[in-house]
């Protein structure tokens, strides 16, 4: 019988439901500016995938070009990453997803990458409802090219140089809802709680998730007169509804007040719980959602939260009625028709 | 004329008044009509009926870039020797288009024959042609076809008339029609009846004065077409892609490439949908060509065999992505069905003018592998080979076809089922990684410049890597180091050298010992083989001919130029693009031997345009 | 160390211990730091202070493709002979970046000197270097600058230290600082004070051991820089555009071209806004490069002098429009500030690898006119000339600069005001039309291939015409006729020949009678002139050198190759792009003379990389 | 004294207010299919310019690529025409307009040219409010490439081949309003009266006019199951408001009922008169207009009429504060700064 005292075992690192630790979800050292909103978002993404227990190797990280588009290098190094060309990531992501629909796809873009050069592909990605998470790290400027206005810069907002933007901002969220995205929300890189909940809910959704995350550029757009600065967001952020999320692997019987809270059962069994804050908030009403967003501009509010969610609409892979296995690795027996087929075809042309 | 006359006792078509000898199986027919008039199936019946008699034919459609109402010319060349290139002289004109009838008639060479609607009074235009006036509308009415079908049926009437005048076997016509309307028996009868009405009319009313005639080739005749197929290059290329096991297709419609994917869609729906109704493929009509190739590269990266098909303007839009594919080393297949540029150019005319542009498609030091099919059979074979090479070399591979090859009707031996199994190139599995203990995505392990890759989803902690179009080192990590950049670029150059050993080799015709050589690619082939025959027969000039089938050039190309005194480079563009690439790659000492034969008016090149220039330059012209 | 010590009685910097002779006005300084640390203005002060002493300098910034925190190296070359190309060996290192300090020090050649932060203990790394330890943080605090400014001020401290060690005239430093901070007097004082702190510290504490020194050049010294300017090529090009009278600019930001338009915006706001505050220009930040060039061509068509500036990826996206510009004959100016490709490549490194791609930018038989500036002065002059040529030739004209030329600091003679008035090319007015009774938009009236055009709004019933990228005849009417197409393409070829007579001619250096020739374009120039000097001095090899300044090549280029036995083509790309274009255009008999000297690691080419290869191949290497 | 009877003078052709006859506005012979909606639109455009008395030489006709984009060749041959590349006409039109803002610009595009390949540039054109008339001849298919679906094809609509479109249609009008166009309406090539009134009003507007004109493709999309056929339009067209127009050169005192009719004074003194038909119709309320359009889809109606008009917003040329004269033809004295300026600049770099 052991009487000698045993040294206390070193505290084991927290493991997620598939037995991995947060370290398994980390990426490379960031090369973005200290304080850049993008870095905070990378953190939230890392946590969300860790907490939802998603195997890193089952994830594709897609991006275009920009400071924001660099960020996939700074989270989840064990996932497959594709940093493509400026504004055209949506097509690359679509192709990759069709090649292997069993993978999770998380895409990071910027407001310039999406709303300027990328607008054409963005519109059609939303329209197809390709199953993936599309995150716009929105700072209202082109960070990597040193601070020119992007198409999400608000009219009247000032550059450091004093130059004023005189073109209306494009509301990416209103646009996405209008075009067919099935999970659309806005958050703020500084809003840890909300962003985390939204990211986890996004992982539970089947279809295109569009998250417009205001992410201040500390170097070129965090000054007085900017409407994408930390200060401005702290002063003008208006939550339409508090975002709660109960993952499928947790106890769902958590209490909630059905009068004030909308419960949205997600595709994977998780539940999205949205507690009404804004009176007109109705996250399953497409027309209302667009109206709400359009009105917010007049009020000068920056609405955040999940604006619209549709868990019924078929995603693009379903529309194409693909076989269950990844197209990429189907065996020759299923991709090359038989000798007889060729003979048949030849006869047709005799 | 009354119906009774139509069924009048038939008389045998008389011989040409002057006992001039008959011209058998060696002439061309041109049907001048307007697009949208539905003459296509009639022309096809005419073509295939002759083909069915064992006689070599080719059919070329010259159509406008609009949808309906503009002049269209369909030319059928009948040639016992098997020459299928465009022939400039027309022997029999079927003038169905009032708008162009006059010019069509005036442009014929003396002695030709013209079938026309009597209303047009074309016979008054020239006295040196043979004219056959036909009351098309009356005959069409006489077919009993309901009014709304008459426009179509009218075309079948000229088929009957031509059949009778050219003594095309009516049994052959009937078989052809029945096959063409296999699924629509009523339509078949209707059309057959129209053919008969035309045939009977000609028989009863027209006096054969022209020397043209089709005669079935003996079963054992070396050129008998039995067993051959007739198909267009785009349909063939689509088959190639299907048998290559393509799974992801992104495309955007553009003439003349649309029919590649439209054919592919039909094929895949038929042969690539499984019992449970699920598809082993995804074909997406993209929003534009940038998206189309983006999808292809994304899919290729994720491990799929992916392709797109387009033409000039679309290729221009793919430039940036093409460079990403080269530098990030992504497999992908792009069919470029060339049309006449620059810019929108002549969308319904043929050309070979994208070659140099595609060879270096994108900014920076970018180089691409290109396959150059010359026949519909090669459209099928290269259509498959592109995918093999793209995955073996991990780079975009282009196939340059053209409108003439892609959209016209060509005879061919039936295609052969691929004997070698699909190979997916250097892909590492989780097991491999376990064994190797990791890998360097851009490391030249084998010395051939081709690195190893893993596919997204490979279940191993060391499987993932970061793909980017920016600078990277062997481990696929971001790098701006001068040495990393230079080494990587040198490896890519090595990989391109490896490509030379993998692409289809050129094909030599001739003894290989002549002084004069001819170099060409693609559809110029058909004009060249006929031109070589002309040169030997008419000018006693023997030539060797090497048909280049890929870029980069293989050793054989260099040797060919080295072995000959003068080499004529024949191509269908203004800027001598193949010659330019040769000048860059060949030992300059040999470049001096190159001469140009160019043809670039939008029409397929003809034999005479080749033989005339060569005979002239060689001083053997008559 | 206490402030009192800082103001300690100054002692003259001692001579190098060993009496080794001083190296005057011939060395290079490298400041290793991180971007975003604000070292730019300090480096500029250092550069210009030496320049102000009449001593030739050049400054090159090697920066990463991110915004802040990554290693950056700024190199100042001081050279009494006026050589300004990159020099690979560093004589004095100012090691401000802990991350790279070790590698920076280890890569130095023996005998070099290092100024470093004492905390880094770099002196322990090597014994064959001269080390100057500096307590930067303390000195910075000692400047009395408020905390948030210290990061910036610290840079000025090393300026002072270097100034003292290199005996740079403090008066010159002071003038430079005052001019640089002209509008901010307080900042000027603050910075000057920091310089003094550094200077005093060095004076009082450091013992001069290295042989490096700057000495003012005599006023009458031939190389005295007095009267010269220092500027970057992008600023110069922007000035050129303004003085060319540009009115419409469509652009999309991309490194390294952004500063062309950003400079232009500042200039235009200052000099092109009229009394009533209205602008004589429209500068639009487009949604992408396709839109940017679309705006340029639309504006050019409507009669404006329009331009855009971009780099590799942007140029790839302009491919389709470039073909439209060529075929529809639309004037437009495109500056391509080349960076290292393919794809995204190394966005902050230099290259000359877009040449062949731009020469044939777009599908089909497309050819473009390209100007190739080699100096900042030419960026200004060609920046103007582009617009003249674009309107004279009615076609897009490209100017290929590069990152080295566009973003680095170069000495130059001041620019000359344009003497010849702006000419708008062949444009017909309403009066002309009245006199002529109409015109044919694509008719070759003058035999030079250049047709006449009218501008939208010309008030005459016969002024209008239809512009399209599809086939057209001389009257600009839609046409698919083979002859119309061929004639038009041949005229475009004639026009391109005319361009050869209008573009800037190449510049010859050397007697013109040597056996060995050198051909190059753009920034390679600066390495070549120094290399030629090395070859004559070290290898007794005299060479002739022709700098090509435009494509298509003028007669002089052909003659130059014809006149020499061996011609070395020096360029900064992997695929020998200039040589390729030469092989295509030159008489093949001469192509055999071409040899390649290539440099493609993203850094500007240096003289040694040129002279070593040539000496080796010429068998005169030591 | 003349007693011989005089032959009656031949009836003179109708002249417009600048003394031109309709012939002066005609174009070349169409090469489009007989019955193509595009031909009818060309007719209406010809009439509108004639009736408004606009000098043909003062007009720029812009287009992309497609059957629709060919149509500028079939009206107003005395105007300057630019048939550019597929989907990228907006940038060309923007450049041309900036070069000469004194010209009228009328652009013709197709639904493929605009909503597929052209989406990116279209979005940014609308956002800039470039002063021009942008007409989409909308047939739901790619006519010139033989009938593939475009992005405006309604979900569920059938191709001749029986293939069904399973992607949602993009409502170009809702999008245009959302993005900043200041005159947005929809019409039907078969609705002579409405289309004419709208075109004339368009000519009186200062800013971007977006007209989505349903224009059946008789060859590829006029069959049963198509939602862009003549038949379907006759059955489903719903006017939101009757469009009336009183040009500035006519007597404006025409009576109208202020309760049922909204009078919009246009930039050139003309008046747009919109008689309410749809109860929720409010053509100056941006948010309402978008809502109205979104709701119509659910009801399966095809709304036509002027949905939104804003006569106050600055157009792009105004935002850029350009000189009054065309930039294209400014004299050297105004475009090339003086010798002194260069000397100054050189001193700055000494
Ligand atoms: C085709 C092309 N054009 C331009 C660029 C230059 N460029 C790089 S990033 C960028 C904008 C990035 O802005 P955004 O997407 O908002 O990202 P951020 O840096 O603000 O996070 C641009 C214009 C490029 N890389 N490629
Ligand atoms: C870059 C490019 N891609 C494809 C084409 C082929 N193309 C010509 S017209 C057209 C579509 C036209 O559709 P739409 O704009 O709706 O015009 P419609 O013919 O229906 O009037 C396409 C895809 C082209 N000309 N250019
Ligand atoms: S520049 Fe702006 S966006 Fe880019 S990393 Fe720095 S803070 Fe972030
Ligand atoms: S195809 Fe359709 S869109 Fe084109 S012209 Fe004919 S009817 Fe009109
Ligand atoms: Mg941004
Ligand atoms: Mg259409």
* Model confidence band, residue D252 (pLDDT cutoffs 50, 70, 90): confident
The C-alpha atoms of residue C338 and residue C355 are separated, in whole angstroms, by: 9
- CB contacts of D92 in chain C (<8 Å) are 294-295, 297-298, 301
Query: Under a CB-based contact definition with an 8 Å cutoff, are residues B166 and B13 in contact?
Result: no
State the Cα–Cα distance between residues B343 and C365, nearest whole angstrom: 9
DSSP state of D69: H
Using CA atoms of A143, A149, A154, A155 in order, give the dihedral in degrees to the nearest 10.
160
Does residue D132 have a pLDDT over 60? yes
* Among D69, D43, D54, residue whose Cα is nearest residue D16: D54
Asked if B45 and B29 touch (Cβ cutoff 8 Å), the reply is no
Q: Which of B40, B258, B288 to mutate to test the interface with D (most CBs of D within 10 A)?
A: B288
Angle between helical axes of C319-328 and C289-301 (0-180°, round to 10): 10
Residue C196 vs residues B21, C174, C204, D244: alpha-carbon distances, Å: 109, 10, 12, 79
Check D123 against A124: CB less than 8 A apart.
no
Burial class (CB in 10 A: 0-12, 13-18, 19+), A13: exposed
Mean pLDDT of chain C: 95
Q: What is the average pLDDT across A128-136?
A: 98
A327 vs A336: CA distance, rounded Å: 13
A255 — pLDDT class (breaks 50, 70, 90): confident
Q: How far is CA A121 from CA A86, B288, B301, C520, D115, in A?
A: 11, 9, 19, 41, 11
Q: What is the DSSP string of B177-211?
A: HHHHTTT-HHHHHHHHHHHHHHHHHHHHH----S-
Q: Is residue A38 lining ligand 3, measured as CB closer than 6 Å?
A: yes
Q: What's the confidence (pLDDT) of residue B336?
A: 98
Band (pLDDT 50/70/90 cuts) for residue C20 is: low
pLDDT for C37: 87
From the CA of D137, give the closest atom in ligand 4.
Answer: 3
Percent of chain C with pLDDT over 70: 97
Looking at residue B434, what is its pLDDT? 97
pLDDT in tens, A71-104: 999 999 999 999 999 999 999 999 999 999 999 9
- In this structure, which residue's CA is closest to atom 8 in ligand 4? D36
Rounded Cα distance between D240 and D242, Å, is: 7
Q: Is B430 exposed, middle or buried (0-12, 13-18, 19+ CB in 10 A)?
A: middle
pLDDT for A5 equals 57
Phi, psi of A230 (to 5 degrees): -60, -45
Per-residue pLDDT, averaged over D91-95, amounts to 98
Query: Residues 6 or more apart from A319 whose CB is under 8 A from it?
Result: A128, A129, D166, D167
Mean pLDDT to the nearest integer, D315-321? 98
Pocket test for ligand 1, best of C250, C253, C261, C262 (most atoms within 8 A of CB): C253
What residues have CB less than 8 Å from D339, skipping those under 6 apart?
A: C417
User: Any CB–CB contact under 8 A between B46 and chain A?
Assistant: no
- pLDDT band at residue A7 under the 50/70/90 scheme: low
Distance D217 CA to ligand 4 centre (A): 5
Give A343-346's long-range contacts (Cβ < 8 A, gap of 24+). Answer: A345/B239, A345/B267, A346/B229, A346/B414, A346/B415
Distance CA C226, CA C191 (A): 25
* Alpha helix (H) residue ranges in A53-171: 67-70, 89-99, 111-115, 119-128
Question: Smallest Cβ distance to C364: which of B341, B365, B483?
Answer: B341
Residue A78, SS3? coil
pLDDT at A1 over 60: no
Residue D20 has pLDDT above 80, yes or no: yes
Q: What is the pLDDT of residues C29-46, one digit of tens each?
A: 999 999 988 899 999 999
Q: Does the pLDDT of residue D9 top 80, yes or no?
A: no
Q: CA B201, CA B550: separation in Å to the nearest integer?
A: 52
B245 touches chain A (CB under 8 A): yes
Residue A22 to residue A16: CA distance in whole angstroms: 8
User: Atom 1 (ligand 4): residue with closest C-alpha?
Assistant: D143
Q: Calculate the average pLDDT of chain A.
A: 95
Q: Report whether A266 contacts A182 (CB < 8 A).
A: no
Phi first, then psi: give them for residue C467, nearest 5 degrees: -95, 130
The DSSP string of C322-355 is HHHHHHHT--EEEEEEEEE-STTBEEEEE----H
Q: Between A164 and A9, name the one with better pLDDT.
A: A164
**Yes or no, beta carbons of D127 and A151 under 8 Å apart:** yes
Instruction: State in Å: Cα D143 to ligand 6 middle.
Output: 5
Kindly state whether B244 is in contact with chain A, defined as any CB-CB distance less than 8 angstroms: yes
The average pLDDT across A56-64 equals 98
With CA atoms as reference, the chain C residue closest to D342 would be C417
CA A177 to chain C, closest CA, distance in angstroms equals: 22
Q: Pairing mode, if any, of strands B543-548 and B550-551?
A: unpaired
Looking at residue B16, its pLDDT comes to: 45
User: Residue D111: CB within 6 Å of ligand 2?
Assistant: yes
Residues of A with CB under 8 A from a CB of C: 31-34, 65, 67, 70, 85-87, 116-117, 119, 142-146, 148-149, 151, 219
Bridge partners of A59, per DSSP, are A104
**Sign, CA torsion B276/B277/B279/B284:** negative
D228 close to ligand 4 (CB < 6 Angstrom):
no
In the prediction, which pLDDT does C2 show?
30
pLDDT of residue B13: 41
What is the distance in A from the centroid of ligand 6 to the CA of D148? Answer: 9
pTM listed for this prediction: 0.96
Phi-psi region of D53 (alpha: psi -120 to 50; beta: other; left: phi over 0): left
Q: Whose CA is nearest to atom 11 of ligand 2?
A: D142
C-alpha–C-alpha distance, residues C513 and D35, integer Å = 74
- CB–CB of D291 and A286 under 8 A? no
Cα separation of A254 and B617, whole Å? 92
Cβ distance of D219 and B68 shorter than 8 Å: yes
Q: Is C98 on the interface with D (CB under 8 A)?
A: no
**Could you give the 3-state DSSP secondary structure of residue C561?**
helix
Query: Regarding beta strands C332-340 and C516-520, do their DSSP bridges make them parallel or antiparallel, or are they unpaired?
Result: unpaired
Strand partners for C23: C212
Cα of D63 to nearest chain B Cα, Å = 13
When mean pLDDT is compared across A245-254, C275-284, D33-42, the lowest value belongs to A245-254
**pLDDT tens sequence across A165-201:** 999 999 999 999 999 999 999 999 999 999 999 999 9
User: What would the DSSP string read from start to end of B270-303?
Assistant: HHSB-TTS-BS-EEEE-SSHHHHHHHHHHHHHTT
CA distance C45 to chain D (A): 13
DSSP letter string over D20-37? -BGGGGB-PPP-SPTT-H
Provide the mean pLDDT of chain D.
Answer: 95
Q: What are phi and psi of C507, to 5 degrees?
A: -115, 130
Q: How many CB atoms lie within 10 A of CB B69?
A: 17
- Residues C418 and C355 sit within 8 Å (Cβ to Cβ): no
Reported as a pLDDT band with limits 50, 70 and 90, residue D2 is very low
How far apart are the C-alpha atoms of B362 and C312, rounded to whole Å? 8
Q: How far apart are CA C363 and CA B357, in angstroms?
A: 6
Residue A256 has what pLDDT? 86
Task: Give the pairing of strands D80-83 and D59-63.
Answer: parallel
Report H helices in A213-272. 230-236
**pLDDT value, residue C16:** 45
For the CA of D68, the nearest atom of ligand 4: 3
Tell me if D123 sits within 8 A of A114, measured CB to CB.
Answer: no
Q: How far is the CA of A111 from the centre of ligand 5 (A)?
A: 5
B607-617 and B524-539 are packed helices; what angle lies between their axes, rounded to 10 degrees? 50
For residue C9, the model assigns a pLDDT of 33
How far is Cα A37 from Cα D143, in angstroms, rounded to an integer? Answer: 47
Asked if the Cβ–Cβ distance from B422 to A322 is below 8 Å, we say no
Separation CA C564–CA C547 (nearest Å)? 15
Count of Cβ atoms closer than 10 Å to residue D331 Cβ: 10
Distance CA D183, CA D307 (A): 8
Q: How far apart are CA B253 and CA D145, in angstroms?
A: 6
A positions 268-327 inside 8 Å of D (CB): 286-287, 290-291, 294-295, 319
For residue C63, the 8-state DSSP code is -
Contact C105, C95 (CB under 8 A): yes
pLDDT tens digits, C535-554: 999 999 999 999 999 999 99
* Rg for chain A, CA atoms, rounded: 22
Residue of B nearest to A61 (CA): B466
Residue B560, pLDDT score = 98
Q: What stretches in chain B show pLDDT beneath 50?
A: 1-17
Cβ-defined contacts of D227-234 (< 8 Å, 24+):
D227/D140, D227/D153, D227/D154, D227/D156, D227/D157, D227/D302, D228/D138, D228/D139, D228/D140, D228/D141, D228/D152, D228/D153, D228/D154, D228/D157, D230/D190, D232/D302, D233/D188, D233/D190, D233/D302, D234/D190
How far is the C-alpha of A159 from the C-alpha of D77, rounded, in Å? 46
Write out C475-513 in H/E/C secondary structure: CCCECCCHHHHHHHHHHHHHHHHHHHHHCCCCEEECCCC
State the ipTM, two decimals: 0.96
The span from the CA of B13 to the CA of B210, in Å, is: 11
Q: What is the DSSP letter of D144?
A: T
Give the pLDDT mean for C338-344.
98
């Amino acid at each position: 019988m052991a009487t000698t005292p045993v040294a206390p075992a070193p505290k084991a690192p927290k493991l997620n439901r598939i037995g991995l630790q947060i370290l398994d979800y980390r990426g490379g050292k960031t090369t973005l500016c200290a304080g850049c909103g993008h870095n905070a978002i990378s953190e939230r993404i890392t946590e969300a995938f860790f907490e939802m227990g998603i195997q890193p190797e089952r994830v594709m990280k897609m991006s275009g070009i920009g400071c924001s588009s660099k960020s996939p290098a700074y989270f989840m190094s064990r996932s497959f990453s594709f940093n493509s060309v400026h504004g055209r990531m949506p097509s690359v992501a679509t192709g990759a997803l069709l090649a292997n629909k069993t993978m999770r796809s998380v895409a990071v873009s910027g407001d310039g990458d999406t709303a300027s050069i990328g607008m054409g592909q963005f519109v059609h990605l939303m329209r197809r409802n390709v199953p993936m998470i599309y995150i716009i790290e929105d700072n209202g400027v082109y960070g990597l090219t040193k601070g020119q206005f992007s198409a999400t810069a608000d009219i009247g907002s000032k550059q450091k140089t004093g130059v004023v933007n005189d073109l209306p901002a494009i509301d990416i969220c209103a646009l996405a809802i209008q075009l067919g995205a099935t999970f659309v929300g806005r958050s703020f890189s500084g809003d840890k709680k909300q962003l985390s909940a939204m990211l986890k809910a996004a992982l539970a959704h089947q279809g295109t998730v569009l998250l417009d995350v205001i992410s201040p550029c500390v170097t070129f757009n965090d000054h007085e007169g900017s409407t994408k600065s930390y200060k401005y967001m702290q002063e003008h952020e208006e939550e339409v509804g508090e975002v709660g999320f109960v993952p499928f692997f947790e106890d769902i019987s958590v209490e909630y007040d059905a009068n004030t809270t909308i419960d949205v059962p997600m595709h994977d069994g998780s539940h999205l719980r949205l507690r009404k804050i804004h009176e007109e908030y109705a996250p399953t009403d497409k027309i209302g959602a667009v109206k709400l967003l359009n009105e917010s501009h007049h009020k000068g509010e920056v609405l955040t939260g999940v604006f619209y969610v549709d868990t019924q609409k078929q995603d693009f892979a379903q529309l194409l009625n693909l076989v269950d296995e990844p197209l990429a690795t189907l065996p020759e027996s299923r991709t090359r028709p038989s000798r007889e087929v060729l003979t048949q075809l030849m006869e047709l042309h005799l | 004329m009354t119906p009774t006359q139509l069924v009048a006792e038939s008389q045998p078509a008389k011989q040409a008044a002057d006992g001039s000898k008959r011209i058998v199986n060696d002439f061309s027919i041109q049907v001048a009509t307007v697009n949208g008039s539905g003459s296509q199936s009639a022309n096809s019946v005419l073509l295939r009926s002759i083909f069915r008699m064992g006689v070599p034919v080719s059919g070329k459609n010259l159509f406008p870039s609009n949808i309906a109402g503009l002049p269209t010319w369909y030319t059928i060349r009948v040639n016992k020797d098997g020459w299928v290139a465009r022939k400039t002289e027309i022997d029999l004109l079927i003038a169905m288009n009032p708008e162009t009838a006059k010019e069509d008639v005036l442009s014929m060479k003396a002695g030709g024959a013209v079938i026309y609607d009597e209303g047009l009074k074309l016979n008054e235009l020239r006295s040196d042609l043979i004219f056959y006036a036909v009351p098309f509308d009356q005959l069409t009415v006489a077919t009993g076809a309901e009014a709304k079908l008459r426009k179509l049926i009218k075309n079948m009437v000229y088929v009957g008339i031509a059949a009778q005048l050219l003594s095309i076997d009516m049994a052959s016509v009937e078989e052809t029609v029945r096959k063409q309307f296999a699924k629509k028996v009523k339509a078949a009868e209707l059309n057959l009846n129209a053919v008969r009405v035309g045939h009977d009319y000609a028989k009863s009313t027209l006096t054969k004065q022209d020397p043209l005639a089709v005669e079935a080739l003996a079963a054992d005749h070396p050129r008998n077409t039995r067993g051959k197929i007739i198909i267009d290059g785009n349909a063939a290329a689509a088959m190639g892609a299907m048998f290559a096991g393509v799974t992801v297709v992104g495309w955007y419609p553009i003439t003349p490439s649309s029919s590649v994917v439209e054919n592919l869609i039909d094929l895949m729906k038929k042969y690539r949908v499984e019992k449970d109704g699920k598809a082993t493929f995804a074909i997406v009509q993209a929003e534009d060509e940038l998206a189309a190739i983006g999808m292809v590269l994304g899919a290729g990266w994720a491990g799929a065999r992916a392709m797109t098909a387009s033409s000039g303007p679309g290729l221009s839009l793919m430039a940036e992505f093409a460079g990403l594919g080269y530098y990030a080393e992504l497999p992908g297949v792009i069919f470029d069905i060339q049309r006449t540029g620059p810019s929108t150019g002549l969308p319904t005319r043929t050309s070979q003018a994208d070659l140099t542009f595609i060879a270096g498609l994108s900014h920076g030091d970018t180089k691409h592998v290109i396959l150059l099919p010359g026949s519909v059979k090669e459209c099928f074979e290269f259509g498959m080979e592109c995918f093999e090479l793209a995955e073996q070399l991990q780079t975009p591979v282009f196939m340059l076809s053209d409108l003439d090859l892609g959209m016209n009707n060509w005879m061919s031996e039936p295609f052969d089922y691929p004997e070698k199994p699909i190979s997916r190139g250097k892909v590492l599995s989780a097991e491999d990684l376990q064994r190797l203990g990791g890998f360097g995505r851009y490391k030249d392990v084998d010395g051939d410049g081709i690195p190893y890759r893993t596919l997204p989803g490979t279940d191993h902690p060391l499987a993932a890597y970061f793909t980017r179009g920016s600078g990277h080192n062997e481990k696929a990590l971001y790098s701006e180091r001068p040495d990393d950049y230079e080494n990587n670029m040198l490896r890519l150059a090595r990989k391109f050298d490896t490509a030379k050993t993998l692409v289809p080799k050129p094909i030599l015709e001739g003894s290989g010992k002549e002084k004069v050589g001819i170099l060409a690619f693609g559809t110029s082939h058909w004009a060249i083989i006929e031109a070589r025959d002309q040169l030997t027969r008419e000018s006693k000039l023997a030539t060797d001919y090497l048909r280049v089938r890929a870029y980069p050039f293989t050793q054989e190309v260099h040797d060919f130029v080295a072995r000959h005194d003068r080499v004529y480079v024949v191509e269908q563009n203004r800027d001598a693009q193949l010659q330019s690439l040769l000048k860059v790659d060949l030992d300059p000492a040999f470049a001096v031997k190159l001469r140009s034969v160019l043809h670039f008016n939008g029409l397929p090149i003809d034999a005479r345009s080749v033989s005339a220039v060569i005979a002239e330059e060689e001083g053997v012209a008559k």
